Amino acid sequence: MKLSTHKPTFKANVTSLIERCITGLAPIILVPLYIKYLTIEEYGIWLMILSITSFLYLTNFGIAQVVMNAIAKDISADRVDYYNKVASSGFFLLLKITSIVLVIVMLLYLLIDSVFSIMSESMRIPLAITMITTLITFPFLVYRNVLRGLNLIHLEQISLIIFGNLIRYIGIIFSLLSGFKLVALALIFSITSFLPSIGAGIFLKKLIPKFSISRQYIDLEYTKSMIKPSSHFFILMVSSSFLFGINTLVIGSVMGPSFVPPYAIPMQIIILIMSTIGLASTNKMPKITGLYKAKEFYKLKVLYNDLIFFSFLIAFIAIINLIFFGETIIIIWAGPSIFYGNDLLYLMLVFLLASALRWPSDSFLYASENHIEYTYVTIVEGILNVSLTIILTYLYGVKGTIIGTLIAYSLTNGWFLFYKTLQVIDYHFLDFFKWFLKEIASFLILIIPLMYFLSYTQLLASYPLYLQIILLNIVMLVILGLVSKKNIVKVYNNIINN
């Protein structure tokens, strides 16, 4: 039985990048269709439904992450019984939790709907469908996390691409073109949330015929041992939801559903870039777990540097492109009514950079299970984010929403994440700071004045848009090659091709 694979990180990165490309290309087609076939209010309601549903992912309680970490610590073809025990204990623990949560959520749903009557008719049924099916899906995420723990991330991503993304986006297109509304979208979303786990289960059965999730493999002692790390993962997930899931709801509640798309559509671009950057860090989590268990701190420091360099570089290139072309792209894509000005866009770009640099530290703390203090700081960040976004949205509109998020991050994890990660991997701050100045600041010193010169003189303005984009990126890549060629090769070998 062969569990290892040649160049697992390279395969994981390629399949993850394909998945991100599909996810990125889909809104290019779907957003104009949403705007054409749904009213702006219906589209705003759909975005709010997705935001509400995202909070239900908290019922994962971090158990899937604990399962992945436990398996990543001991990858061997001889450990099938151990995998059965870990996966079965996690699955049935999740099943109990989500069953209880399902009853509570539905009672709250009926109470809110009957007493307060705040849900519109077009929101009521789609929201119920997405909530119920999302909760039913959660225990089956264990199959996908077992594959990730075995460092077979490429197989997990193939399941997501084939059984999830492709079916979902094709289904949504046919649904909108056929004149169906939010109920059909909710059904498609629900089905395609479940299918990737089935695909992962098929892969696992082919790779490990003796692998099975069954009540007979439940280990009560191991189930108890899951609860402590799971509780902290859960608190961290709750806090994170108040960072990334609350803004759309605040805008919809304070300003109305019609104000949601002008925020959510540009933010889709930001989140796509942000999540694509994060693939490099999340795909390295099984390796981080192994290195930390072996106490190979020097390799952890090198890997951390590489991930910071990669995350910063990709974010910076994306930011420069959006500064030059963001307004044009958004207006062509979604229409002038969706673009609320460069001020909002530039605030989102600051959010992009902060989120990109968050990924490496987040993955290190998750994978090494040194996330307890991170959990508490994220609670504070979440509370600050909710409070500030509500207040500032009332005062400044949509711009206030993103300003509140940035202030909350700056006061909390904006500094703590780096501090804690450096402490965990025994990396002195001055050594990290020297590395940052050498590898990143030198590039910025050259590229920022040149970008300002190109913007000020409008040298590229006479060319077609596609040619402007190509020429701008050629200039950046040439400078990057001259300044950081050696580091780029190292990052490619260690992160992408390893």
In degrees, rounded to 5, the angle at the alpha carbon of residue 193 between the alpha carbons of residues 162 and 164 is 10
Query: Taking the mean position of all CA atoms in its chain, how far away is CA 346?
Result: 21
Whether 225 contacts 164, CB under 8 Å = no
C-alpha–C-alpha distance, residues 114 and 494, integer Å: 56
Whether 407 contacts 384, CB under 8 Å = yes
Domain ranges of the chain: 1-227, 245-498
Other beta carbons within 10 angstroms of residue 377's beta carbon come to 19
109 burial class (0-12, 13-18, 19+ CB within 10 angstroms)?
middle
Rg for the chain, CA atoms, rounded: 23
Token output for 469 = 């984009």
310 burial class (0-12, 13-18, 19+ CB within 10 angstroms)?
buried
Alpha helices for 56-166 (secondary structure H)? 63-72, 80-111, 121-137, 141-149, 153-159
- Sorted by sequence, the CB contacts under 8 Å of residue 329 that are 6+ apart come out as 269, 322
Phi/psi for 61 (5° steps) reads 55, 15
Whether 381 contacts 440, CB under 8 Å = no
Predicted structure pTM score: 0.72
C-alpha–C-alpha distance, residues 201 and 147, integer Å: 9
> What averages of pLDDT result for each successive group of 10 residues across the chain (498 residues)?
59 82 82 86 84 71 76 72 87 86 83 67 84 87 89 89 92 91 90 92 88 86 68 57 70 83 85 86 85 90 93 93 90 82 91 92 88 82 89 91 92 93 94 90 84 83 88 88 82 74
Looking at residue 461, the DSSP 8-state letter turns out to be T
In degrees, rounded to 5, the angle at the alpha carbon of residue 157 between the alpha carbons of residues 182 and 200 is 90
443 burial class (0-12, 13-18, 19+ CB within 10 angstroms)?
buried
C-alpha–C-alpha distance, residues 60 and 137, integer Å: 10
If we measure between CA atoms, which residue out of 233, 55, 63 comes closest to residue 146?
Answer: 63
Token output for 326 = 């963001």
C-alpha–C-alpha distance, residues 194 and 198, integer Å: 7
Q: What's residue 421's pLDDT?
A: 95
**Amino acid type, 187:** L
Whether 247 contacts 329, CB under 8 Å = no
Q: What's residue 71's pLDDT?
A: 83
Angle between helices 80-111 and 63-72 (to 10 degrees): 170
Looking at residue 166, the DSSP 8-state letter turns out to be I
C-alpha–C-alpha distance, residues 289 and 369, integer Å: 8
Q: What's residue 57's pLDDT?
A: 67
Alpha helices for 208-259 (secondary structure H)? 220-244, 246-255
C-alpha–C-alpha distance, residues 297 and 317, integer Å: 30
Q: What's residue 54's pLDDT?
A: 74
C-alpha–C-alpha distance, residues 495 and 439, integer Å: 17
Torsion of CA 212, 218, 221, 227, to 10 degrees: 80
200 burial class (0-12, 13-18, 19+ CB within 10 angstroms)?
buried
Q: What's residue 1's pLDDT?
A: 43
C-alpha–C-alpha distance, residues 109 and 119, integer Å: 10
